[in-house]
Amino acid sequence: MSFLDQITEPTLLLNEQIARTNLHRMAEKAKRQNVKLRPHFKTHQSWQVGEWFKEAGISAITVSSVKMAQYFARHGWQDITIAFPLNRRQLPQIAELAQQITLNLTVTSADDVAFLREHLSTPVNIWIKADTGYGRTGIKTEDTAVLDAVLQELAQTKQHTFLGFLAHAGHSYKARNHKSIAAIHQDTLTKMRGLKERYVGTWPQLQLSIGDTPSCSIMEDFSGMDEIRPGNFVFYDLMQNLISSCRLEDIAVAMACPVVALHPDRNEVILYGGSVHFSKDALPQADGGVIFGLVVPLTENGWEAPLPATTLISLSQEHGIVRTTPELFSQFKIGGLVGVLPVHSCLTADVAKSYLTLNGERLEHLSGVVV
């Protein structure tokens, strides 16, 4: 039976071959550049996909929540960084994890360090979150007084180990070409190297960790860095394509949606597939509008290139509206299936709660796991 025969409702398809190719490409780059690849698992959140990384020689990972760390620890991962500010309300879960694995936490203040010293006896490793320009969280690299205060607390926190500085140049997602990404990446490298120069005398083992997918996909120079933590690269998506991080053929996921209604008077196709299946992430268009995905024909082997001038233009809770051309409209049939390349694969995977591979295998996603 074809994997297509299993689909009765919106279903996220996963092309394992493309994902593995993306994975190996990044692993080879890390090896070539002599940096450790500690991939972020927040994109796929699947222990089965995680096994593909193990097969590629990856032994250390990044996650974005304590719950995610618990999930992957249950599936054999022993070296996990939670690249999210310390959530003190989860101290019991953190303490339990720290007894099971090598746990690396992220702090954003001297007070965080004092809290861990006073309330967590089981040893953990500590990263300081450095803000290199994204502006979301972390300590600005030029704010040396605050950084000095954090390091003074770390010097008094003997049961835990200071690893170094961790940054995420998320502002690279606002770039639209290689030149812009290169500028952000170079600025990040310069700021991170500056931190090492300032503190390596006192902390000779200090490490530097960076990790946005655009920079890790496009750039080749990671000199001075110890590890990279990209995540989205395993699937990619239309946003990454817009940024120029990937080609359309590198996108490893597509949402399969049933066609439920046709409106030839306006060349619109109604899909069973709405915001609860895709999220509301959209790509701005030159005409001032937005799109929520590109439509691809589904085949027994996966999907083909996007149909020209055929886009997902609107989402409500369960409905998706595709607008196409009069010439292509006849390709759509009620009861048929079409694929949609998502704008943001991380959020789409999260709301999909599972995957269907082209071999017809169901893979789990943490969001669909009942604990």
Cβ atoms < 10 Å from Cβ of 95:
15
Residue 172 pLDDT level (bands cut at 50, 70, 90): very high
Helices 16-32/47-55 angle, 10° precision: 40
H helix or E strand, kind and range, residue 253: strand 253-263
Burial class (CB in 10 A: 0-12, 13-18, 19+), 335: exposed
Pull the structure tokens for residue 12.
Answer: 């996220």
Mean pLDDT of all residues in the chain? 97
Instruction: Give me the phi and psi of 34, to 5 degrees please.
Output: 60, 45
Q: What average pLDDT does range 291-301 have in this prediction? A: 97
In the chain, which segments carry CATH 2.40.37.20?
A: 3-11+247-368
> Per-residue pLDDT tens for 216-265?
999 999 999 999 999 999 999 999 999 999 999 999 999 999 999 999 99
pLDDT of residue 357 exceeding 90, the answer is: yes
Contacts of 217 (CB under 8 A, 6+ apart): 26, 230, 233, 240, 245, 246
Torsion angles phi and psi, residue 316, rounded to 5: -115, -165
pLDDT tens, position by position, 139-154: 999 999 999 999 999 9
Arithmetic mean of pLDDT, 174-181 = 93
33-234: which CATH number, 3.40.50.720, 3.30.70.20, 3.40.1190.20, 3.20.20.10? 3.20.20.10
Domain span(s) for CATH 3.20.20.10 in the chain: 33-234
Domain 3-11+247-368 grouped into CATH 3.40.50.1100 = no
The whole-number pLDDT of residue 122 equals: 98
pLDDT tens, 12-60? 999 999 999 999 999 999 999 999 999 999 999 999 999 999 999 999 9
Q: Between the CA of residue 289 and those of 71, 285, 286, 310, 368, what are the distances in Å?
A: 39, 5, 7, 14, 33
E strand spans, 34-158? 36-37, 61-63, 79-85, 102-107, 125-131, 139-140
Inform me whether the pLDDT recorded for 371 exceeds 80.
no
Q: How many whole angstroms separate alpha carbon 253 and alpha carbon 240? A: 13
